[in-house]
A and B are shown apart, each in its own frame.
Chain A
Amino acid sequence: MGLADRVIKPSILRGFALYTALAGIAWCALFPILWAVSGSLKNEGEVTMPTLFPSHPQWSNYREVFALMPFWRMFFNSVFYAGCVSVGQVFFCSLAGYAFARLRFRGRDTLFVLYLGTLMVPLTVTVIPQFMLMRVAGLTDTPWAMIVPGLFGSAFGTYLMRQFFQTIPAELEEAAILDGCSPWQIYWRILLPHAKPAVMVLAVLTWFNVWNDFLWPLLMIQRGSIATLTLGLVRMQGEYVARWPVLMAASILILLPLLLVYAVAQRAFIRGIAVTGLGG
């Protein structure tokens, strides 16, 4: 066996094994989506059968979604809530992250650890007190109930932004100090524009969270006119329990904007994951 054979063969074998494993994992991840797409195009009789390709694709299922629920109203609501919360999260988390990363004040690190510790408290523990707070504030069943709790940042977002700000060379900030910038100007004019990758990650993750959230809107919102898509989907399920293909079609329609957001932000998102040290 020549040197080339000895060097090349193991790498080909390893590559084959690696790609087979990756393809298997990708298949596992994609199969539910494929199954949903397939289900959304089947008819009532075919939907429970274990076939991936519908015999006669029923595109009318998609039309029915719009007939059965106020899709565009709910779509707008979901976009509005996700947009507001994302902007708020980016603004407040980056401000807090800047403070924790760059400003020097007594007890800074202890405060940060305590804040980070709140990540360990599950949502189910705080959901009832939060509900009561909202009720006392008179915000239940209003759009504010969807926006206010997430608007002022989160421990995760603050952590993410702090990690990013810590990677920015101190000289950049010092140059800005000598150029006459105040701490606010340093944040707004120098660090935040520099933190675009981290901002994209936080914005996309927040958007996904709000978009997919079900429990909170279920607790807060009664009126259909301010409901989100996830609520609409579930209410549809209650009223038309047998219409699985239509439900599948609605699920796919709700998923599409997320795919679109990810597709647009993908490069910045992946770069952000790399630079904030979230990956691995």
Chain B
Amino acid sequence: MASVTFEQATRRYPGADRPAVDCLDLAVGDGEFVVLVGPSGCGKTTSLRMVAGLETVDAGCIRIGARDVTDVEPKDRDVAMVFQNYALYPHMTVAQNMGFALKIAGLPKAEIRDRTLDAARLLDLEPYLARKPKDLSGGQRQRVAMGRAIVRRPQVFLMDEPLSNLDAKLRVQTRNQIAQLQRRLGTTTVYVTHDQVEAMTMGDRVAVLRNGVLQQCGAPRDLYRNPANMFVAEFIGSPAMNLFTLPVVNHSVSLGDWRIRLSREITDAAGEIVVGIRPEHFEIGGRGIEMQIDVVEELGADAYLYGRVTGPDNTFGQPIVARADGHDPPLHGSRVRLHPQRGHLHFFGVDGHRLP
């Protein structure tokens, strides 16, 4: 096993106006599971491919363990990758697919067989070893792709959205299996996804990227509780955090008829700030924002209320989402008052950065 370190790693595609990955500094510890997450085009897959050696590093460097691998051939980096579309060799059986890298490396047949069998047992693939990929279900193909990586016993696993081709139920199941497997094997893993739920549930740490720039890296709970900026605040959590741009008057801001006193550090910074409240951090009733409910999304235990802010202040008409108790949610068309829970408020400057 080994750590993976990005040091000011940059990738600039010819003709692009900004780098796909811009001065990325990130250290993935030995045996750690780090998830790179972000919207399409944020540079997460490019970063992963830079570790694999499938993308050129235009500036900075990448280390695996203590070794600088920036200019090392992919095959000599001792990494294994699971691709989004699995990239199984269609003309080979499951066993041949899994043992291919070992065969190329010139390992004895008996060892290839033993290691393939071990991995197949680990992934419940034993009955399918003689089948071709086209005769497998999506979930089985995904496991073969995992098996192909495991068989090699690499220093690092790289996974590029390996669950995105599975249906919702299987995705949840496989998500847990991968996380458990990684913990059991203890192999350093860099995992890419655009799904923030996947990121939050699987990773020891989550790195959020946007436009090629690392926004924040931390434990899932940290990202949820202390987002470094508005982008992370909105990206992490589902439904997304509500953000209200409010004027600072007399060291305080008003959310409906509820006044929030702010510290001097915040009020000195700007005349206007952004207040963030997650849907789950509203209480229904009391002083606060009045909401006209347009849609009630009932999920059983919880219900999400989607609507607009009503009231005389500057947030009038702004969309808002709040979580309510699923047993007795308010009806759509009705009006409710939402009281933000103190201690769960997030303050950002209008430039998007978190205020102290």
A contact residues vs B (CB 8 Å cutoff): 169, 171-172, 174-181, 185, 190, 193-194, 196
Contact = CB atoms under 8 A, between A and B. Distances in A.
Nearest to B149: A178
Contact of B87 (A171, A181, A185): A171
A75 to B, nearest CB: 34
B75 A172 contact: no
Nearest to B80: A178
Contact of A179 (B85, B90, B101): B101
Q: What are the 8 tightest A-B residue pairs by CB atom distance, in nearest-first order?
A: A171-B87, A179-B101, A175-B87, A180-B75, A193-B91, A180-B104, A171-B83, A177-B74
Interface of A is mostly: helix
A177 B52 CA distance: 10
Contact of B83 (A174, A180, A185, A194): A174
- Size band of the interface chain B makes with A: 20 to 34
B120 to A, nearest CB: 17
B209 interface: no
B79 interface: yes
Contacts of A174: 52, 54, 81, 83, 87
Interface in B51-80: 52-54, 74-75, 79-80
B299 interface: no
Interface string B187-202: 0000000000000000
B224 interface: no
Nearest to B79: A178
26 contacts: A171-B83, A171-B84, A171-B85, A174-B52, A174-B81, A174-B87, A175-B83, A175-B148, A176-B89, A177-B53, A177-B74, A178-B53, A178-B74, A179-B75, A179-B100, A179-B101, A179-B148, A180-B105, A181-B75, A181-B104, A185-B104, A190-B89, A194-B89, A194-B90, A194-B91, A196-B91
Question: Could you say which of A171, A176, A180, A185 has the most chain B C-beta atoms within 10 Å of its C-beta?
Answer: A180
A272 to B, nearest CB: 15
Contacts of B85: 169, 171
A176 B101 CA distance: 8
A171 B83 CA distance: 7
A178 B75 contact: yes
Nearest to B152: A179
Interface of B: 52-54, 74-75, 79-81, 83-85, 87, 89-91, 100-101, 104-105, 148
Nearest to A174: B54
Contacts of B87: 169, 171-172, 174-175
B115 to A, nearest CB: 14
Contacts of A185: 104
A175 B52 CA distance: 10
Given A180-B105, A181-B104, 12 more contacts: A171-B83, A171-B85, A171-B87, A172-B89, A174-B54, A174-B81, A175-B81, A176-B89, A178-B79, A179-B75, A180-B104, A194-B89
B50 to A, nearest CB: 13
B103 to A, nearest CB: 9
Contacts of A180: 75, 101, 104-105
Nearest to B75: A180
B196 to A, nearest CB: 24
A169 to B, nearest CB: 6
Contacts of B104: 179-181, 185
B210 to A, nearest CB: 25
Contacts of B84: 171
A169 B85 CA distance: 9
Nearest to B106: A180
Contacts of B74: 177-178
Nearest to B92: A193
A178 B81 contact: yes
A242 B88 CA distance: 63
Contacts of B83: 171, 174-175
Nearest to A168: B90
B54 A177 contact: yes
B14 to A, nearest CB: 12
Contacts of B89: 172, 175-176, 190, 194
Nearest to B52: A178
